Structure formats: structure tokens, C-alpha cells
Amino acid sequence: MEERSMEAERLVIEDGPTGPRMTRCHGCKQAELRDAARDLSRDLDGHLFIAAVPAQVCGACGEVTHALDDLARFDTAVTRALVAVGARGPEAARWLRKAAGLRAAELADLLGVTPETVSRWETGKHPMDRATAFTLGALASAGPAERAAAVDRLRALGAAA
Ligand SMILES: [Zn+2]
């Protein structure tokens, strides 16, 4: 088992558009929302990542709401940090696969392994080897166009095998 790290890594999420803003709290319906930031954290295989994420906080009931775009930017920051630390454990494997937008069967097909192998990575029976972790990390942290090109290359490699 991987050692549980006690150290939290603080991430900075990118600025960007957040779409339409709420004008009333969806909890108590009061129009007392103010902009703030709230820490969100994610613990994956003992790597703890924390970031201050923009939020709307209700002054009446205390309800905290994050825009979906800000939550997506938090996830992106976590993905990049996870790749940067070289995480290869089960939670990292599943997180990175999902960040790459792949189902387990698709990933198995792209990498030329069985679905059982992907399952072993994600249940912690066997860590991803370094080459797999590198490839999955690259897929997960790439932008959409870059990712599509990488998937095409993996498909070509599979077809040529
Ligand atoms: Zn409220």
C-alpha cells in the first residue's frame, strides 16, 4: 500500500467564465448572495489537494454554491497535480481515466490490455506500470484536440499490431 501523505498541496485554479450567476439562494430563496471563495479538497491515494474555489454564499442561510465551470477547473487542477506527482494508485487510475473521458473498456482497447487489467489498476490489486501511468496522465491532462490526436495515434498503433 502507498504511504498516506499528511501533506496537503494547495492548488490555484484558473480564472475563467462561469456562465449565468444565481440571483437568489436556491435553498432559502433570499437574494443575499455574495461572492466568496471556499476551499475544496480532494484526497486521492493519500495525495491531498486543496484549492480556493470561487463561490456564491447566501448571507441568510449560509448555503454555498459553486459554478459548474469552477468545479470543472478545480478538477482540472487536481488532474494536473496528480499527474505531476506521478500518482499510480487505484484512485489516481480511476480519476485520470475519467478525466480523459474514457470508459474502462475504451482505455483497455487503446492500450492493448484486457478490461481485467484496467480493473486491477483501479481496485489496487496492481499499480499501473510507469509507461501506462505516463500515457494515461498525458491523455487526462491534454486539451480536447491534443487528446483526440493522442487517441488516434493509440488506435493506429493498435491497428498496426
Ligand atoms: Zn439561503
20-48 pLDDT, tens digit each? 888 999 999 999 999 999 999 999 999 99
pLDDT at res. 18: 81
Distance 24 CA to ligand 1 centre (A): 8
Distance 69 CA to ligand 1 centre (A): 21
Which pTM does this prediction carry? 0.89
Handedness of CA 22, 27, 30, 35 (dihedral sign): negative
**Residues 104-121, mean pLDDT to the nearest whole number:** 98
**Residues 62-74, mean pLDDT to the nearest whole number:** 95
Residues of each domain in the chain carrying CATH 1.10.260: 87-161
Q: Tell me the CATH number of domain 1-85, given options 3.30.70, 3.10.20, 2.60.40, 1.10.287.
A: 3.10.20
Q: 13-44 burial by CB neighbour count: b if 16+ within 10 A, else e?
A: beeeeeeeeeeebeeeeeeebeeeeeebebeb
Residues of each domain in the chain carrying CATH 3.10.20: 1-85
**pLDDT per residue over 78-95, tens digit each?**
999 999 999 999 999 999
